[in-house]
Structure 1
Amino acid sequence: MRLRYIPMSDDEARRMREGGPDAYGNPPEREISDGDGVPCRHCLRNVGAGEPYLIFALRPFSSLQPYAETGPVFMHAEECPAHDGNALPPILASSVSYLLRGYGENERIVYGTGGVVPTEKLQARAEELLARPDVSSVHVRSAKNNCYQCRIEML
């Protein structure tokens, strides 16, 4: 099974860089990275020390519904290329574990799929979840802060 790692869209990234409103209607905040733990949700790489980045609320769902979680994320303030989706993103190798959770076609949590997974087992667990007929995507979140990292689908 081949996995596809899906970053925040180019359109959403452009809108945020242009100062558009986030999921809560606020403009993004601009900061300078200290180089530690600032994962960009567009290129799926860490923002380097001294580089500007944006902080904003992201709701990675297509509609408002009870399971459409919203939370803080980071992104390079300057243009960066979107992750191509093919390889394990660098930001998913920067922690010892991640929270993985399966979602159905209706973007609602499939109960029993959520759990903290060691980084070295992330891909295997995502494949296991996506092999289920009731799971169409997997969200990867920080195991420490529950921040959204990216979505995984089958190719």
Structure 2
Amino acid sequence: MRIHALPADVLDRARKQAGTDEHHESHAESGGAPLRCCLRKAEAGEPLILFRYTPTAGVGPYEEVGPVFAHAEPCDGLESTAEFPEAFRHAARTLRAYTAEGRIHDGEIAQPETLDDRLTALLDNPEVAEIQVRSVSHGCFLFAVTRD
């Protein structure tokens, strides 16, 4: 499996627009916000942006928009694209599988100890092109997963 943080072009646009409208905020963090640029939790005092994001999977009626946090300045990005980020393993996650056409194919809630197995099982279906990993409590998009 391959893990995808937010694309650089999305982050660049959001950073340029931070503070210019109601959809792009500059944000002072007290620590713990889930960062979508590097897929770790923010440390206290890190300058962040909070903005609206629509993932590429999910078109038409399946398109979703939600809030995401990222560093206010470019960071080193994701450490590994092959392993589920440890900062996001502490809770159950919603897994939404999409076809190449952007239609929802399947969805489930996976517990921390079954995340890898459930992602692999969903990706084993040839109709699934991408899986969105989301927060169960808030529904926020965390990151995408595709086949290697």
TM-score exceeds 0.5: yes
What TM-score comes out, normalization by structure 2 length? Answer: 0.90
Q: 1:17 to 1:90 in 2, by over 3 A?
A: farther
Question: Is 1:130 matched with 2:123?
Answer: yes
**Correspondent of 1:119 among 97, 106, 112:** 112
Question: What secondary structure does 1:81 align onto?
Answer: coil
**What is the deviation of 1:90?**
3.2
Task: Name the aligned partner's letter for residue 24 of structure 2.
Answer: P
Question: What secondary structure does 1:123 align onto?
Answer: helix
Match of 1:31 in 2: 27
Structure 1 portions without partners, runs of 5+: none
Once the two structures are superposed, residues 19-66 of structure 1 have per-residue CA deviations (whole angstroms, 9 ceiling, x without a partner) of: 1799xx755111111112x11111111111111111111001278511
**Correspondent of 2:50 among 55, 67, 81:** 55
What TM-score comes out, normalization by structure 1 length? Answer: 0.86
Residues 10, 82 of structure 1: 8 Å contact kept:
no
Match of 1:4 in 2: 2
Match of 1:104 in 2: 99
Match of 1:67 in 2: 62
**Correspondent of 2:83 among 58, 83, 87:** 87
Residues 9, 82 of structure 1: 8 Å contact kept:
no
Match of 2:15 in 1: 17
Residues 49, 72 of structure 2: 8 Å contact kept:
yes
For residues 70 and 34 of structure 2, the distance between their equivalents in structure 1, rounded to whole angstroms, comes to 7
Task: Name the aligned partner's letter for residue 68 of structure 2.
Answer: V
Q: Share of identical aligned residues, percent? A: 31
For residues 43 and 14 of structure 1, the distance between their equivalents in structure 2, rounded to whole angstroms, comes to 14
**Correspondent of 2:71 among 68, 73, 76:** 76
The CA RMSD over aligned residues, in Å, is 2.1
Q: 1:43 to 1:144 in 2, by over 3 A?
A: same
Residues 46, 90 of structure 1: 8 Å contact kept:
no
**What is the deviation of 1:150?**
0.4
Q: Runs of 4 or more off by more than 3 Å in structure 1?
A: none
